[in-house]
Amino acid sequence: MSEGAPSTPHFGAAHGRAGRGLNPHLNSASKDIVALGVAFAAIIMFVGTGSSVLVSIAKSLSGQGVGPDKLLTNALLLNIALIIFGWRRYRELTGEVAERRKAEEQARFLAEADPLTGCLNRRSINQAADCMIAQASERGEAIAFIMLDLDKFKQINDSHGHAAGDRLLCATASRLAANLPSNALIARIGGDEFACVVPFDPARPGQIDQLIEGLIAAIAKPVDHVDGELETTISAGVFRRDPGSADDTQAALHHADVAMYQAKKRGRNRYCWFDPAMESELKFRAELESGIRRGLPAGEFVPFYQKQIDLETGEVVGFEMLARWHSEKLGMVNPEIFIPVAEDIGLIAPISESLIRQALKDARKWNPKLTLSVNISPLQLRDPWFAQKLLKMLVEANFAPSRLDIEVTESCLHENLGMVRSLITSLQNQGVTVSLDDFGTGYSSLSQLRLLPFDRIKIDRSFVASVLDSPESARIIESIISLGDGLGLPMTAEGIESQEVLDRLRELGNFKGQGFLYGKPQDAEVTAAELAQLDLLLEQPAVVPGAADAIAAEPQVRRA
C-alpha cells in the first residue's frame, strides 16, 4: 500500500466486536433453510419414487414389463422440478445474503473507521480502548494514550489545496501504522488530530519515549505531491495509564490532549508527558478564552496611553496606545497574557479595531501636534483589507492620517514581505506613518529596510534597559543610530525607566523616548486631565475623580 492511500481499519488485537450491535442474519438464514428444506424434501421424494419408476422404465424399454405408472412418473418429474427450483432458489438467496453481508460490513466500516485514512474514528476508539484497558489490566500492562496533531496543517491546506491535505493525512496514518506495534490502536479523532493507544511494560516507560521520537522523525519526512513535497511536523501529548487506574478512555485521551497542547505551546515538533499541573493551566486558558469572548462585546477592552517624549526638549510629542483588559471576573489582565490567546482564537483583529476606534475618538480631543501610535498584530497583516479598514476608521473619526503612526513588529517581516510592503505603501499614500517596532530583536536585513519604506525605527526596550550595564547593548544602539542616520530614519527608544538611562541615551543621539520614567500608561480620562494641565487639550474635560492624584504621582513633563 502506498503512502496517501486509505488503508484498512487499524483496529488492533484488542478490538473485540462481539456483542457490540452486530445482528445475525436471522431472516436470511431462515429463508436459506426453507429453500434448502424444499430441495431436500424433493430429493427424498425423488429417491422414494424414482427407484420404482426408473426400474419400470428400464424394464419397459428392454421389453420385460409394462410402462411405469403415470402418476408416479408425474410425481418423479415434479420432484425433479422441485429439486431444480429449490437449488436455484437456494443459490439466489445465498447470493443475496452475501451481498447484504458485504453491505453491512461496509456500513460497519463506515461507522467504526475514518473513510479517508482507514483508522478508527472518535466513537470506535473509545470502544476499542476500553477493551484494551480490560485486557491490559489482566496482563499487568500499562497503556500509553498518545494524542498527535499536525503542526500548521491549515497553512498546507490553504497553500496547496485540500487534496494535498488529504494526502498528508493518509501518509501520516500510514507512517503511524508502520511505526507502531501491531497491537496498537490508531484513530483519527478529527481534522488533523490522531490518537494512538499502545500497551507497554510499566517497568520500561523509555520504550514509549523511543516510540514517539520515532514517530516524530518518520512523519517529518517529506511527502511527494504533484505540487512538490509536503512537509509537516507533529506535536504529541502522552498520558500513562497504569494497571488499576480509575481513568477511563475519555479521561486518558483528555489528559493526553492537555499534554499535546503544552507541546504546541513549547514550540511544536516535540512531545510532552501529562502532568497534573497542566490541567490547571488549561482551565485557566479556557477561562481566558471565554472571558475574552464575553469581554469584547461588553466593552471590557480599553485603550491606555503612554507618553512619547522628545528627549532633547522634554516635550510631549505623542502617545502610544496600549491594550488593557478590565475583566469582570479576572480583574486587570496583563496584555502579555491575553493578546496571544486572542490571536489563537481569532479575536485579536476585532479587539484591535475596537481599541483603535476608541483611541482615535480620544486623540481627536488632543492638541493636533500630538501623534497617536498603534501596534498591529502580525495576524492583521494577513488581512488584505486592513489598510482600507484603517482608513475608513480615520474618516469615521475625522482624524488626520498624518497624526497616526502604525507600528509593525520586526518579526512580521518574515511572514509575508509582499503583504507588508503593500500595507505600508497603502497607508503612506494616505499620510499615515509606519514604524518598525522592536528593532534589533529579529532578523531584518538591510535589504528589507531598504525595500520597506518605514518612517521610523523603534529600538527595543531590552537594549535600552541594559545600556548602562552592557557595552554590547550600547554598541547595538550606536549601530542602530548609525543605520537610521544612513537611511534617514528617526529613532524612538522604548523602556526608559531611569534618569541615568535617559542621560546615556542623550549622549548617543537625538531620540523620541517612552518609558516609566515619564509615567505609567493611563486611561483616556487621566490622560485627558494631564493634557489639560499642560494646555495640550482642545476640550477641557470635567474633573475626573482620582485623576488629580494620578497626575500628581507622575513625574511632570515640560509643557510644550
Q: Is 557 exposed, middle or buried (0-12, 13-18, 19+ CB in 10 A)?
A: middle
**Amino acid in the structure at residue 183:** N
Give the cell for residue 454: 518605514
State the angle between helix axes of 70-112 and 122-139 in degrees (0 to 180), rounded to the nearest 10: 90
156-168 confidence digits (pLDDT tens): 888 888 889 999 9
Taking CA atoms, 416 is separated from 154, 156, 342, 385, in Å, by 16, 16, 21, 15
Model-level pTM? 0.65
On the question of pLDDT at 220 being above 90, the answer is: yes
Helix axes 499-508, 471-487, angle to 10 degrees: 50
* Residue 289 and residue 327 in contact, taking contact as beta carbons nearer than 8 Å: no
480-504, pLDDT tens digit by residue? Answer: 888 888 888 898 999 999 999 898 8
* Predicted local confidence at residue 509, as pLDDT: 79
- Measure the CA–CA gap between 522 and 515, rounded to whole angstroms: 12
* Cα 482 from Cα 505, distance rounded (Å): 14
215 forms beta bridges with: none
Cα dihedral across residues 481, 483, 485, 488: positive or negative: negative
Rounded-to-integer distance, Cα 111 and Cα 140, Å:
31
Instruction: Please write the tens of the pLDDT for every residue from 527-555.
Output: 999 999 999 998 654 444 444 454 444 44
Measured distance CA(24)–CA(171) in Å, rounded: 36
Residue of 82 and 299 predicted with greater confidence:
299
Instruction: Look at residues 161, 155, 179, 177 and name the one whose alpha carbon lies nearest to residue 225.
Output: 161
pLDDT, residue 147, reads: 95
- pLDDT class for 560, splitting at 50, 70, 90? very low
pLDDT at 57 over 90: no
pLDDT at site 461: 86
Query: How does residue 105 score in pLDDT terms, banded at 50, 70 and 90?
Result: low
Return the minimum-mean-pLDDT range out of 49-58, 249-258, 271-280, 331-340.
49-58
Percent of the chain past pLDDT 90, that is, above it, reads 45
